[in-house]
């Protein structure tokens, strides 16, 4: 089967007889877009791969919880974003325990074989990485993915007003960071 309509896929996932085949299609259909969504939050390829795998494992375990009240893609993106944020929280605990991790993200990115940006792009990514988790997520979803605040609100379970405030604060912080590192 090729790409299947999201509603049809959601319906078939409730059928235990074809669940595994449909889930394999779901993984095939959404892997690339979820990977890039996760990568924009966690920054590094290996980390994004790990979070993507965790996302699909969590989705598989939670299939019975999917009631079809939201789109299947929204449900998957919510899981992916929450997994990415959980990963970042765990990383912060690890980095604070190993405080000699002072190499800048820009330097790490330019050394990453999967990063294809220049130094300016690396500084921008470093500025984004300096943001608190929620501000970074809102910025990435709204700026890069052009998601509406209402969609982000559904995914993150917060108000549109709070998201708008987070976004504008993030833009200000990024601008200040880039100016001071140019």
CA–CA distance, 73 with 26 (Å, rounded to integer):
9
Domain check: are 65 and 137 in the same one?
no
Mark whether 8 and 58 lie in a shared domain. Answer: yes
**CATH number for 15:** 1.10.1740.10
More confident residue, 102 or 171: 171
CATH of residue 175: 1.10.10.10
Residue 150 burial (C-beta neighbours within 10 Å; 0-12, 13-18, 19+): exposed
Domain residues for the domain of 46 are 1-102
Q: Which residue has the higher pLDDT, 79 or 97?
A: 79
- 147 pLDDT band (50/70/90 cuts)? confident
pLDDT at residue 70 in the model: 76
The reply to whether 87 and 133 lie within a common domain is no
- Where among 102, 133, 151 does a domain terminate? 102
pLDDT tens, residue by residue, 43-73? 788 999 999 999 999 999 988 888 777 788 8
């Amino acid at each position: 089967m090729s790409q299947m309509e999201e509603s049809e896929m959601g319906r078939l996932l409730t059928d235990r007889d074809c669940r595994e085949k449909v889930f394999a299609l779901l993984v095939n259909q959404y892997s690339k877009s979820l990977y890039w969504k996760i990568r924009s939050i966690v920054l590094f390829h290996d980390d994004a791969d790990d979070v993507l795998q965790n996302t699909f494992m969590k989705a598989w375990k939670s299939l019975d919880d999917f009631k079809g009240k939201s789109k299947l893609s929204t449900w998957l993106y919510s899981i992916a974003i929450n997994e990415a944020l959980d990963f970042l929280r765990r990383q912060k605990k690890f980095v604070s325990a190993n405080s000699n991790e002072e190499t800048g993200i820009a330097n790490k990115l330019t050394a990453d074989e999967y990063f294809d940006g220049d130094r300016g792009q690396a500084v921008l990514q470093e500025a984004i990485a300096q943001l608190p988790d929620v501000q970074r997520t809102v910025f990435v979803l709204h700026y890069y993915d052009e998601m509406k605040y209402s969609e982000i609100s559904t995914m993150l379970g917060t108000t549109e007003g709070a998201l708008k405030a987070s976004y504008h604060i993030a833009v200000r912080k990024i601008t200040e960071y880039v100016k001071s590192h140019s």
